[in-house]
Structure formats: C-alpha cells, structure tokens
Amino acid sequence: TTRSVDVPPTRYGSDNKVLSPKDAYLNSELIVVGAAYTADRKLKQSYTEIKKLDKAKAREEILIYAEEEVERLFATNVTHSNKEDVLQRAKRAARFLIDEYFDMEDKIDEYCISPTRYGSDSEKSLSNNLENSDNDKTINIDLLKLKRLKDDSKS
C-alpha cells in the first residue's frame, strides 16, 4: 500500500533560497507593518492639512490604502497563504496609526497651543513653562518635538 503525505509547498525568498515556515511568517509580519505604514503615509500626503479630515473619514480611507498595499505586497513577497489574516492585521495596524495621530494632535493642541495653560504660544515661553511644571516633566521633550513637527508641516 502507498501512503500519501501532504508536503507543504516550497517557498522561496527574494534570494531564491528556500524559506522556512518561520521566515514565511516573518514576511507576513513585514507586509502588515509595511502596508499600515504606507497607508498612513499615503493618507497624510493626500491631504495637505490632515485636520481638514475628520477621524471617521480618515479611518475609512486608511483602510482602502492598507488593502491596496497588502494586495501589492502580497503579490511580490512570499508569505504564508492566509491573505485575509494578513489583510485584517494590516487594517488593524493602520487604524491604530491614524487613531494615534488624531489623539496626539489633540494632546499637542491641549498642552502646547493653549494660551490659557501656558500664557503664550511662543516656543521659548512654552519651553520655560514646561520645564517649571512638575506634572509635565516626562513629556517635555516629546511635546516640543511634536510642536516643531506640526509647525513644520504647516509651512
């Protein structure tokens, strides 16, 4: 009698070497991260000022970009065969990125721009006030960097 054994298909990487299951899974993780990042970047590039876009609309659009990017990356990279799983993880990561963007925008506005809290919008005054505030010592540097990034993106 002959016994049939299911042998998984051989997968090759970009260097034409055989991929282990672990390497193939790693490729899917890279696709997830790459698709989410690219979707985030494309969404932000499509709007000169992201604030014009509300959070709900941004979440919808970033999923479209993520899906397009997963399709593109899946076609050119070897990975495990569960494309739907990779797509769902990429969408989840993209939603996370855009949610964090909007949450950080709110924090920048609250901590850096508010004249009622710090008295002035100037960076020097803001820096002095942040340094003197005991509650904000852990976020001083990050908020100043974010304010600079926000100001740079407007110009």
| Residue ranges making up the domain that contains 80 | 11-99
- Record the pTM: 0.52
Instruction: Name the domain boundary from 74, 99, 124.
Output: 99
15, part of any domain: yes
As a whole number, mean pLDDT of residues 114-134 equals 47
Task: Count how many domains the chain has.
Answer: 2
Average pLDDT, the chain: 69
Query: Same domain for 90 and 153?
Result: no
pLDDT of residue 117: 47
Q: Could you report the per-residue pLDDT of 92-112, keeping only the tens digit for each?
A: 999 998 898 888 877 766 665
Helix-strand-coil split of the chain, %, nearest 5:
75, 0, 25
Distance CA 12, CA 30 (A): 16
